[in-house]
Chains A and B, each alone.
Chain A
Amino acid sequence: MDSIKIKEYKKGDSSLNLVTGHLKAVGTGVKYFVKPQRITLKYPEESLSLPTGYRGMIRLYKDVCIGCTLCAMVCPADAMKMATDQGKKFPTINYGRCVFCGFCVDICPVDALKETGVHDAAFSSRRELFFSPDKFNQDFDQPPVELLVKKVKAVIDEEKGIKYVPDTD
């Protein structure tokens, strides 16, 4: 173990320190008031594109799936269950239960499951949250990207913390 150093802070400010403390606090406030450092994302005018490998909604490639049930076994939330479709087993998913841990994608021996970057899908009823193999086999409808919506990505900046720059691809 290295040397133990027990520190003490200085208690009881002198009145001069008190005044400078107040001035510094107000000064810092004014500094940020004049030159704000904002990190708000103006959703939905700006939509964040997520980094590669983001664990979003999952989709199935039915023709690749071998029906090994590993995904259903590893699922921590029992969201994924197997269903028999034309004599073959396929996974179904209930997004009401899914916790997006991505274990099923990681464990699938043939890569029949894929993480999409979609995270903001909306459903109008609980029944819709359940995906049968056929529905699971489809790509997600990406939220409509019109001229109004700007795709941006978050970039860490040394001065501003987080900056949103237009996503080119």
Chain B
Amino acid sequence: MMNLLFDLRYYVLYPSFFNSVIYPGLIFTAILLLTTIWFERKAAARVQMRVGPYYASKRLGGFMQLIADAVKFVFSEVIIPEGVNPTLFALAPVLAVAMSFIPLSIIPVSVIPPSGSVFSIYFRDFYDPNIGMGVLTGLFVQYNMLLILAIESMYPVFVIFVAWVTNNRFAIVGAVRESYLSVSYDVLLIMATLSMSLEYHTLDLAKIAQSGIPGILANPVAAIVFFIAMLMGSARFPFEIAEAETELVLGAYTEYSGFLFVLTMAGSYVGNLVYALVFTDMFLWGWYPLSGFPGALLTGLKASIVVFFSVFLRAVYGRYRIDQALRGGWKYLLPLTFVSLFIGLVVGYIWIP
């Protein structure tokens, strides 16, 4: 009996399972997703002279409203428009969401000390030679920085796919906007990441976080650029251009209803969380100085705050026009990334071993 329990614990806590399914993978993300949407609605309501969700559960400040909404969406009819391929129509949002979830299993959320942690038994399997410690991540790759961004940059392709299968003009216009945007924010993300990797002489997020030098102090310019690119990449205000309700109804997701609509909604929030976790590891110490499970919690907390702040901006901004966003990206932020690259080279040479 004890053996069975021990085996079970071994497999549940095995980082490849734990990270991709429990934390920060599926389950944690689903809960955080609901909390984020709840926070978005409540925060906007506070600024906007309103109360927001309230009656679904008065003690929890209306948190249950989100569960109720989700249940309602799941059971409502999925309307498939005429003249589309039903298989692709149903598959497209599923693929998009699946794609946005994948990076969560590669992001390091904590380190595993050789002993003293529940994860210590996996120390050897997830050993990171760069920091001389284990890394709590679903799949340890030395070049995880690049891999995460590479996978996440696939997401817009699926948005375009979604728009293409729905055969709706508003969706197509939304997809075109998304494709223009994705090109510009991906460059910014990669340049910001590159300047950090040059600064810390590594492509391993774990090493940056474990170095104990906060990236936001070492290279504030990169942090600003990364944050703005994150807002662009996850369709947050003021860059909610591809969805732009008053212009494009709902952009690429115009035709979706019911559960498929929930999936399309989820995609951008998951993307936001992925970028927020990378932002936390890269600029906000990540788990440092904790390790093991508390460290992972700390990373999650910081990332949640970043996500919450980025959804809070809905209450402050309208949306930019697509050409303004692109001009901002290419004309002002791209030169800034060169500055951050330069800062990265200099500071990395002087300060960071």
Within the complex, are A and B direct neighbours (CB within 8 Å)? yes
A40 close to chain B: CB less than 8 A: yes
Assess the A40–B47 pair: CB atoms within 8 A.
Answer: no
A161 close to chain B: CB less than 8 A: yes
Assess the A25–B312 pair: CB atoms within 8 A.
Answer: no
B250 close to chain A: CB less than 8 A: no
Could you say which of B49, B54, B313 contacts A37, with CB atoms under 8 Å apart? B49
| Bound Cα distance from A42 to B43, whole angstroms | 18
Assess the B316–A36 pair: CB atoms within 8 A.
Answer: no
Within 8 A of A (CB), among B311-332: 312-313, 315-317
| Bound Cα distance from A29 to B308, whole angstroms | 14
Could you say which of B43, B48, B50, B313 contacts A26, with CB atoms under 8 Å apart? B313
Q: List, in ascending order, chain A residues with CB within 8 A of B48's CB.
A: 32
- Contact pattern, B 17-50, Cβ under 8 Å of A = 1, otherwise 0: 0000000000000000000000000010011111
Assess the B51–A32 pair: CB atoms within 8 A.
Answer: no
- Contact pattern, B 182-216, Cβ under 8 Å of A = 1, otherwise 0: 00000000000000000000000000000000000
| Bound Cα distance from A32 to B54, whole angstroms | 19
Within 8 A of A (CB), among B45-74: 46-51, 54
Q: How far is the CB of A17 from chain B (nearest CB, A)?
A: 14
Contact status of A33 and B43, CB under 8 A, knowing A25-B316, A25-B317, A26-B313: yes
Q: List, in ascending order, chain A residues with CB within 8 A of B50's CB.
A: 38, 40
Assess the B49–A36 pair: CB atoms within 8 A.
Answer: yes
Q: How many A residues have CB within 8 A of the partner chain?
A: 13
| Bound Cα distance from A37 to B316, whole angstroms | 16
Assess the B316–A29 pair: CB atoms within 8 A.
Answer: yes
| Bound Cα distance from A82 to B194, whole angstroms | 85
Q: List, in ascending order, chain A residues with CB within 8 A of B54's CB.
A: 42
Q: List, in ascending order, chain B residues with CB within 8 A of A36's CB.
A: 46-47, 49
Number of chain B interface residues as a range:
10 to 19
Assess the A33–B46 pair: CB atoms within 8 A.
Answer: yes
Within 8 A of B (CB), among A8-52: 25-26, 28-29, 32-33, 36-40, 42
Q: Report the nearest B residue to A162, measured CB to CB.
A: B49
Assess the B49–A40 pair: CB atoms within 8 A.
Answer: yes
Q: List, in ascending order, chain A residues with CB within 8 A of B49's CB.
A: 36-40, 161
Q: Report the nearest A residue to B55, measured CB to CB.
A: A42
Q: List, in ascending order, chain B residues with CB within 8 A of A38's CB.
A: 46, 49-51
| Bound Cα distance from A161 to B50, whole angstroms | 13
Interface centre among A25, A33, A37 (most CB of B within 10 A): A33
| Bound Cα distance from A32 to B46, whole angstroms | 7
Contact status of A40 and B51, CB under 8 A, knowing A32-B46, A33-B43, A33-B46: yes
Assess the A29–B47 pair: CB atoms within 8 A.
Answer: yes
Q: How far is the CB of B223 from chain A (nearest CB, A)?
A: 15
| Bound Cα distance from A94 to B54, whole angstroms | 37
| Bound Cα distance from A128 to B143, whole angstroms | 74
Q: List, in ascending order, chain B residues with CB within 8 A of A39's CB.
A: 49
Assess the B316–A26 pair: CB atoms within 8 A.
Answer: yes
| Bound Cα distance from A26 to B47, whole angstroms | 11
Assess the A33–B51 pair: CB atoms within 8 A.
Answer: no
- Contact pattern, B 277-289, Cβ under 8 Å of A = 1, otherwise 0: 0000000000000
| Bound Cα distance from A33 to B312, whole angstroms | 9
| Bound Cα distance from A40 to B42, whole angstroms | 13
Q: Report the nearest B residue to A32, measured CB to CB.
A: B47
Q: List, in ascending order, chain A residues with CB within 8 A of B315's CB.
A: 29, 32-33
| Bound Cα distance from A53 to B51, whole angstroms | 30
Assess the A29–B51 pair: CB atoms within 8 A.
Answer: no
Within 8 A of B (CB), among A65-84: none
Q: Report the nearest B residue to A25, measured CB to CB.
A: B316
Q: How far is the CB of A53 from chain B (nearest CB, A)?
A: 27
Given contacts A26-B316, A28-B316, 11 further A-B contacts (CB under 8 A): A25-B317, A26-B313, A29-B47, A29-B312, A29-B313, A29-B315, A32-B48, A37-B49, A38-B50, A39-B49, A42-B54
B-side residues, CB < 8 A to A, are: 43, 46-51, 54, 312-313, 315-317
A-B contact pairs, 23 of them (CB 8 A): A25-B316, A25-B317, A26-B316, A29-B312, A29-B313, A29-B315, A29-B316, A32-B46, A32-B315, A33-B43, A33-B47, A33-B312, A33-B315, A36-B46, A36-B47, A36-B49, A38-B46, A38-B50, A40-B49, A40-B50, A40-B51, A42-B51, A161-B49
